[in-house]
Structure formats: C-alpha cells, structure tokens
Amino acid sequence: MSVEQRRIMIVTAALPLVAEYGAAVTTSQIARAAGIGEATIFRAFKDKDEVLDACVAEAVGTDHVLRELASIDLAEPLGIRLTEAAEALHAHLERVGAVVGSLHASGHRRGREPAHPADRPAPDSRARSMTALRDGVMDLIEPDRDALRLPPEKVAAAFLGLLFTRMQAPAAEADAPLTPEELIAVLLHGTLNDPGSSR
C-alpha cells in the first residue's frame, strides 16, 4: 500500500471519530478504527494535527458529493433527480458541519500551513467548489432544458440558494426547514396552488 493509499484509509476511518470527539480523538482510537497499528499513522502523517487537517480537507472537499450527483439516473423525472441531489448535498453539508464544528468546539485551530500538499486549500478553492457543485446540478437539469422557463444555470443557482438557506434555517419545531421534497416542489412549481390565480 502506498503512503497516499494509507493516508486515505486513515482519514476515512478518522472522519466519524473526529465528528464525534473533535480534537480529543486519540491516534489510538483512529488506529483501531482503521484496523492498523498506531505507529502506522505516523508513517503517513507527521502528527495528530496533520491527521486532523487532512480530515478537514476531506470533509470540505466536494469529490465525494460530485460522484453522488453524477450517479443520479438521468432517466428519472426531474423532481426525483433534484430530490436525490438535495439529499446528497444535505449529507455533505452535515458532514462538513459535524467535522469542522466538532474540531472548533474542542479547541482545534488551524494555526499552521498543512505539511502535506493534498491538505492545503488551493487558491479560490471555495469558488471552484461552488462552481463544481453548480455544474453537477446543472448536468441533472440539462435533460429538461426545453421544459424550463429559465436556463439550467439559473435553475441550478436557485436550487443551491434554496438548499443552503434551508440548511441555515433555525431548527425550531414550528419553523422546521423545508424537506427535500418541499424544496423541489417550491423550486419547480412555486408556492401557489394555481399559479394563474394571483394577479
């Protein structure tokens, strides 16, 4: 197994532990979860902070969710495709929030440049990630271009705007955020029972 493969295996095992324990997670716990000896971690990473930085980089990275979006069957109706996309993006955002939030709550601060190039954020990486997510959603909308009043680019932007607003909504019971199905219904059909009834 190459060092890169070992790093991926360790980070994959560490992510749920980091989400649960934050910076209090031990390398011993990570090693047990990965099914390796603790010393193996230090052949792939300099120290625990480097493991934590790699976990943050993996959590905020969009590769996994982009694969999820690409796996959605384009033969399904648009509403189903977008509901599946909303669920995949919601899971991605929850994972980011769990990992970053847990680390922040436990006092972990990124006070240094990550040693490994794969763990360093690329310049403008946030903008590139948003563009990649928009493009992934656009690909799901494109087969229905002729049925839409707006181009797929604008529908994808509206979809992401609604989704991110939904994620930031307060979780009070009376004001529960839109379900993925409700979000897609609003996006595709608005909020009027009869769209021609309000003038």
10-38 residue pLDDT tens: 999 999 999 999 999 999 999 999 999 99
For residue 142, the model assigns a pLDDT of 97
CATH classification for the domain delimited by 60-189, as one of 1.10.3470, 3.40.50, 2.50.20, 1.10.357: 1.10.357
Q: Would you state the torsion angle of the CA atoms of residues 155, 156, 157, 159, taken in this order, to the nearest 10 degrees?
A: 90
For residue 1, the model assigns a pLDDT of 81
The whole-model pTM stands at 0.76
Which residues does the chain have with pLDDT short of 70?
109-124, 166-175, 195-199
For residue 127, the model assigns a pLDDT of 86
For residue 197, the model assigns a pLDDT of 61
For residue 111, the model assigns a pLDDT of 46
For residue 8, the model assigns a pLDDT of 93
What's the rounded Cα separation, in Å, for the pair 114 and 125?
15
For residue 166, the model assigns a pLDDT of 67
